[in-house]
A and B are shown apart, each in its own frame.
Chain A
Amino acid sequence: MLSIKKAVCGLLAVALMATPLLGGCQSQPKSQSGGGANSTAADSKTTENSDYPKKTITLINQFAAGGSSDVLGRALASVVNKYIGATVMVENRPGGSGTIGTDYVLKSKPDGYTLLITSSGNFTTTPIVQGAPYDPVKDVKHIIGIESLPMAIVVNADSQWKTLEDLVNYCKENPGKLKAGAGVPGGTNHMAWQRFTKTAGIKTNEIPFGGGTSEATTSLLGNHIDASVLHPTEISEQLKGGKLRMLAIFSDEKLVDYPDVPTAKECGYDVVVQVNKGISGPAGLPDDIVQKIHDAFKQTMEDPEFIKIVQKTGDYNYLKYETGDELKTDLDKMRDDFSPLLKELGLEKKK
């Protein structure tokens, strides 16, 4: 019996020793603290924080592990350490449609060590619907825009609707009959569907799916609902497998991956809704730190190692660099756009 125990211990030891070997390809962050030497008092504004970063930077993902923010965040974190000169860790603080993690970052010390994987919803719809305890304008400093995820109207590939026009015509002939899985009320998917039905002047039977997009996808595949608004990135395998069909995309331009799918605009419905992702921090972040973070992430976006990862995850074609100010303008515009709609739907949280 003792020998078995010994054998087990031996095996465990082997496994433990092998683990770092397997992961040997991971790059270690290069410390750039030596750069502190040129921190002469030439420019007080930029040299104030020239020793940043001195410790690990935490990127907060405000959604559950396994979601699109998590995947993008981990891809960024694995490469950005090269450029920022410190380890970057992704930490998940999910809940409350992302308000918990967002609030955590916005209320943290503005020292650049706690950053947010920005998701537009938390600065556009959720503050209005959930009455989030932060101000989506005053409490935040947007640093860089990284990705713009499009949204599309999706139906089952076996369905009778081949084009967006088919769908609209069906809805006009059968008002309120089309079962639309429109995401959780007040979410960006729901806003997109609302925008579309309003623009097209149609009525549908909306079935909320709060369990994330996977639930809507399953129901769509099983023909329990007729149509849904989904991110093409999340259903790329179902599209490839010929199980689902995109009728139109709510973007300004056609998608590189799906050149045959028209934009809603081309079909005559001017609806543009997307989810912007980027990096943000609490208001009051010093300008030089903002600049440092911005530059590091911008370099990361051009890094071959990062590009290799996002090509695998399917994010590559949706990367869209924006400055922090441009991201802010986008989000402000979206919020102004959705706010009256949310009020009209009675989804605004009463104070």
Chain B
Amino acid sequence: MDILNQLGTGFMSALTIQNLIACFAGVFVGTVVGVLPGIGPVGATALLLPFSFGLDTSTSLILLSGIFYGSMYGGSTTSILLNVPGESASMVTAIDGHEMAKKGRAGAALAVSAIGSFIAGTVGVVLLMIFAPPLGNFALSFGPQEYLSIAVLGMLLLSNLTGGSFLVSLGMFILGMIITTIGIDPISGINRLSFDILDLSKGIEMLPVIMGLFGMAEVFSVAVEPYKVGELIKVKFRDLYPTKKELKRSVAPILRGTAIGFPIGLIPGPAAVVSSLVSYKMEKNFSKHKEEFGHGAIEGVAGPESANNAAASGTMIPLLALGIPFAPATAVLLSGFMLQGVAPGPTFISGHADLFWLIVASMYIGNVMLLILNLPLVGVFASLTKVRPEILMPIVVAVMMIGTYSVNNSTFDLLILMIFGVIGYILKIVNISPAPIIVGFVLGNVFEKGLRQSLLVAGGDFASLFMRPIAGSMYLVCLAVLIWVIVGQVKKKYKVSISED
């Protein structure tokens, strides 16, 4: 009852006109930056920080949080329609979402991702509300050894995300890992693979790599193809929304995505990207329509989009309960809090209970607003595909470049965007999926730092890596997965040999 009482008070103050406007402005800006490829929550929040000075504390926190979780909604739009990810976490959505769009199901994909985002976002807030204090402490039980074990498990599960040749995927994966080693080594403090080029010492950022491999590459390939009279134009209005069958197929993925995304948000690192990758892999394994994956399976849209929204709620927990930002976007959010004189931390939920519940209430309201905002927009956005590519694509390129530049104000990042655009285009021609590069990129860092820090902590004792409960269980899961895969392979071979006989 206590929770409901406090939530009630939170709603009371969240429902003032000023706070409602702030909430709407936040989720609106969030949706917009989510939709615009390359411009993400980090840039948007940083841009709005100076402006939040003039607002009172609660209003400004509602606004800034709104941008953060709102940006997870819009990201799928350009992924589905143009195969250009709106923000990093939506790269997975593009795989099947864009295939759906090609078949004239763009509206369905957009609607399902909005609904999935809404459900995951709302469930995420409920979980945040109930579990914030205990889960905050749970996140603390993760030391270097645990991060290492998660990275190992992630590598095992995700290395061959999109199927295809195992060796090729492994190569791409290792390439991703190598790219993360560029720059200042976090352990020794020394520059690696930077060739005395100052810009390389900052390392290669994830955003330009993803935008290049997926977005730019798509633009290049559209540019090379002769213009076809859009096959999507014929989509009728009633076809914009998902059919009953599509909705039915989306329910389980949405719930699974929520369930897996939320805990991943508790782990430091690019939770949004990781959660959508994991969810995609999971759906592919669970689906009765495995053959459809990569060719427009709605599960491949519903799952990942829900997962990254749930992860966004999860990421709020270490921020609010510990005062520690686990992702760049929450780091900027934290400075927004600091500038308002409220530093989240262990005493925040008890000491600033009114603010905590206000933010929680505003997140409920914000998620409803996002659904109302996004569902009708499906039609508007879907009509984007009617714009001739020679007009649309240059705009996309411009937006992508502005977005990439705005994060670090670095022209070097634009160069990275272009280089990876070319790499992505070449991979497209030879029909290799660039997704494993991102998996290696995301997990490589966690793996390396985890391994080296764990060994330093233990004085070089390898056995110690397996001796901790959480880490040990992770490795057991790894072992189980390996056995499962090997047994599966043997069975397959056995069956084949029997049928040959």
Contacts and interface: CB of A to CB of B under 8 A. Distances in A.
Contacts of B144: 207, 219, 224
Interface in A10-40: 11-12, 14-15, 18-19, 22-26
Interface string B129-143: 000000000011111
Given A207-B453, A221-B322, A22 B202 contact: no
Given A22-B18, A210-B189, A219-B143, A65 B42 contact: yes
Contact of A208 (B25, B188, B322, B333): B188
Contacts of B185: 210
Contacts of B188: 185, 208
Contacts, number: 212
Contact of B25 (A19, A131, A211, A224): A19
Contact of B55 (A15, A23, A93, A222): A23
Contacts of B9: none
Contact of B410 (A4, A93, A190): A93
Interface bin, chain B: 35 or more
A15 B189 contact: no
Interface in B44-75: 45-46, 49-55, 59, 63
Contact of B49 (A4, A74, A132): A74
Contacts of B430: none
User: Which of the listed residues B18, B52, B140, B199 has the most CB atoms from chain A within 10 Å of its own CB?
Assistant: B140
B340 A312 contact: yes
Given A238-B323, A347-B189, A92 B141 contact: no
Interface in A52-86: 64-67, 70-71, 74-75, 77-78
Contacts of A225: 457
Given A66-B325, A222-B141, A241 B202 contact: no
Contacts of B50: 26, 74, 77-78, 90
Given A64-B331, A237-B345, A218 B322 contact: yes
A100 B340 CA distance: 29
A24 B54 contact: yes
B140 A222 contact: yes
A63 to B, nearest CB: 11
Given A18-B25, A22-B25, A241-B347, A184 B325 contact: no
Contacts of A147: none
B22 interface: yes
B334 interface: yes
Contacts of A185: 187-190
B25 A71 contact: no
Interface residues of A, number: 78
Nearest to B205: A95
Contacts of A222: 140-143
Contacts of A12: 28
Nearest to A206: B456
Interface string A218-246: 11011011000000000011101111000
Given A24-B54, A214-B324, A237-B344, A65 B331 contact: yes
A237 B346 contact: yes
A208 B189 contact: yes
A267 interface: no
Nearest to B372: A8
B339 interface: yes
Given A67-B335, A218-B268, A236-B343, A25 B54 contact: yes
A5 interface: yes
A175 interface: no
A169 to B, nearest CB: 21
B373 interface: yes
A268 interface: no
A340 interface: no
A99 interface: yes
A22 B347 contact: no
Interface in A185-227: 185-187, 190, 205-211, 214-215, 217-219, 221-222, 224-225
Given A18-B25, A71-B339, A93-B409, A78 B53 contact: yes
A96 B25 contact: no
A65 B42 CA distance: 8
A301 B45 CA distance: 26
A132 B332 CA distance: 27
B268 A215 contact: yes
A95 B410 contact: yes
Given A23-B55, A66-B335, A210 B346 contact: no
A108 interface: no
B346 A241 contact: yes
A208 B347 contact: no
A261 interface: no
A287 to B, nearest CB: 29
A51 to B, nearest CB: 26
A312 B341 contact: yes
A11 B24 contact: yes
A232 B371 CA distance: 42
Nearest to A12: B28
A67 B325 CA distance: 11
A246 to B, nearest CB: 15
A238 B346 contact: yes
B376 A218 contact: no
A99 to B, nearest CB: 7
B106 to A, nearest CB: 17
Contacts of B335: 65-67, 70-71, 74
A5 B380 contact: yes
B202 A8 contact: no
Contacts of B410: 93, 95, 100
A66 B143 contact: no
A44 interface: no
Contact of A96 (B54, B202, B380): B202
Nearest to B143: A224
A1 interface: yes
Contacts of B18: 22
B259 to A, nearest CB: 24
Interface string B25-38: 10010000000000
19 contacts: A1-B237, A15-B25, A22-B54, A65-B42, A65-B331, A70-B335, A71-B335, A71-B338, A71-B339, A95-B199, A95-B408, A99-B201, A208-B189, A209-B453, A219-B143, A237-B343, A237-B344, A309-B339, A311-B341
The list of the 5 closest CB pairs from A to B, nearest first, reads A95-B202, A237-B345, A210-B186, A312-B341, A241-B346
Given A5-B376, A74-B335, A240-B347, 12 more contacts: A14-B21, A65-B42, A78-B53, A92-B409, A95-B183, A129-B189, A208-B189, A218-B322, A221-B322, A238-B322, A241-B345, A313-B338
